[in-house]
Amino acid sequence: MIPYDRNIDPPAPFVEVIVQHPMTGQREVLSAQLDTGADISGIPQRLVDRLGLAPVRIVPVEGYDDARVLLSTYVVRLEIAGVRFRGLEVVPIPGERTLLGRDVLNCLYIHLNGPELTFDLSPSPPG
């Protein structure tokens, strides 16, 4: 079981992911928050700049306040819990947070144990 990150209040599930440039393979290891409220995953804008990612399209994105903005999207390779996404479309988000949306989470089996502040995540059903 993986412990929740207790540095934020209330504690939340974060998991280590590897984000890579789709061609150069340049990579960074990040701590990403599981966010079932997000349709699409997001990586920090600064990581987009560091990896030198090129945009692939522009999409409208709405936040919790229904404010709509136009964001460029980028394609990265992503590895999480032994699952590799050869191409994953992501949006840039402010700050240093990385979000795993349902585009990624729906490929995994996830068990949240809220009372004990732990979770489990696997590409195959729990045995």
Partner 1 sequence: MLYSAQVTPMKTLVLKEAQAPYTLTLDESALSEGPVQVLQGERVIGVLVPPEEYTAFRAWQEAQHHPQRVGQDHGAFEREAAAFAALLPELLQEYRGRVVAIHDGQVVEVGHPGESVAQVAVRVYDRLGYVPVYVQQVEESPRVYRITGPRLGSQ
3-state secondary structure 17-42: EEEECCCCCCEEEEEEEECCCCCCEE
Residue span 89-118 as binding mask against partner 1, x where in contact by CB under 8 A, dash where not? x-x-xxx-x-x-x-----------------
The candidate with the shortest Cα–Cα distance to 18, out of 95, 117, 111, 104, is 104
Strands 41-44 and 55-62: unpaired
12-51 footprint of partner 1 as x/- string (CB under 8 A): ---------xxxx--------x-x-xxxx-x--x--x--x
Residues of this chain that bind partner 1 (CB under 8 A): 21-24, 33, 35, 37-40, 42, 45, 48, 51-65, 67-73, 75, 85-89, 91, 93-95, 97, 99, 101
